[in-house]
């Protein structure tokens, strides 16, 4: 049986992942309103990925015979100053998620919950990738600056995400 402390932090993490999904959907919506369809597609796919992360934890709790508790998802921000600001916030948000994942692993180790420690290794690896993707886009956007054709090309590149 999963310990209550672990169960609570896992339920909180479902909420974090679903909020991430909601935040990225809001960013996608913002990009659509700016006619940046490639960025919008990238963010929409990211939103779906985050939903998947939440459900991965959801299924894990059920597997461990725990109780899933769904809590209120906050309203995400809807307007940003520039595409660069959107991706800078994405990076900041992913760094926050990495800290949440590390806290879960720390607690699982402390509570000698080997199953949760092992299960969360996937998330540890995923966060390295998520942060690297955001850094990569932020750096490209800084290089491009206000150059419209650069933004157009990056929009096209990100729109190719499958």
Name the minimum Å distance from CB 24 to ligand OFO: 8
The answer to the question of residue 155 lying near ligand OFO (CB under 6 A) is no
Say which residues have a Cβ less than 8 Å from residue 127's Cβ, sequence separation at least 6. Answer: 94, 97, 98, 101
The answer to the question of residue 20 lying near ligand OFO (CB under 6 A) is yes
- The number of helices, as runs of H, and strands, as runs of E, in the chain is 6, 0
The answer to the question of residue 97 lying near ligand OFO (CB under 6 A) is yes
The answer to the question of residue 6 lying near ligand OFO (CB under 6 A) is no
Judged by CB under 6 A, which of 50, 61, 120, 137 binds ligand OFO?
Answer: 50
The answer to the question of residue 94 lying near ligand OFO (CB under 6 A) is yes
Residue 129 to residue 122: CA distance in whole angstroms: 11
Instruction: CB nearer to ligand OFO: give 113 or 130.
Output: 130
Sequence-ordered alpha helix ranges (H) in the chain: 4-33, 37-63, 83-110, 114-119, 121-144, 148-158
Helix, strand, coil percent values for the chain (each to nearest 5): 80, 0, 20
The answer to the question of residue 130 lying near ligand OFO (CB under 6 A) is yes
The answer to the question of residue 47 lying near ligand OFO (CB under 6 A) is no
Name the minimum Å distance from CB 124 to ligand OFO: 11
- In 10 A of CB 155, how many CB atoms? 20
Judged by CB under 6 A, which of 31, 53, 151, 154 binds ligand OFO?
Answer: 53
- Output DSSP code: residue 67: -
Instruction: CB nearer to ligand OFO: give 11 or 151.
Output: 11
The answer to the question of residue 44 lying near ligand OFO (CB under 6 A) is no
């Amino acid at each position: 049986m999963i310990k209550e402390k672990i169960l609570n932090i896992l339920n909180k993490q479902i909420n974090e992942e679903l909020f991430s999904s909601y935040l990225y959907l809001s960013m996608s919506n913002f990009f659509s309103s700016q006619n940046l369809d490639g960025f919008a597609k990238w963010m929409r796919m990211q939103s779906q990925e985050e939903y998947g992360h939440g459900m991965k934890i959801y299924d894990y709790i059920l597997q461990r015979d725990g109780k899933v508790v769904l809590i209120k998802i906050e309203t995400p921000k809807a307007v940003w100053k520039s595409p660069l600001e959107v991706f800078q916030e994405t990076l900041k948000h992913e760094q926050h998620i990495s800290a949440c994942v590390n806290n879960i692993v720390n607690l699982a180790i402390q509570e000698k919950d080997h199953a949760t420690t092992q299960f969360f290794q996937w998330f540890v690896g995923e966060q390295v990738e998520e942060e690297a993707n955001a850094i990569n886009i932020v750096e490209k956007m800084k290089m491009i600056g206000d150059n419209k054709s650069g933004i157009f090309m990056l929009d096209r590149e990100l729109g190719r995400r499958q």
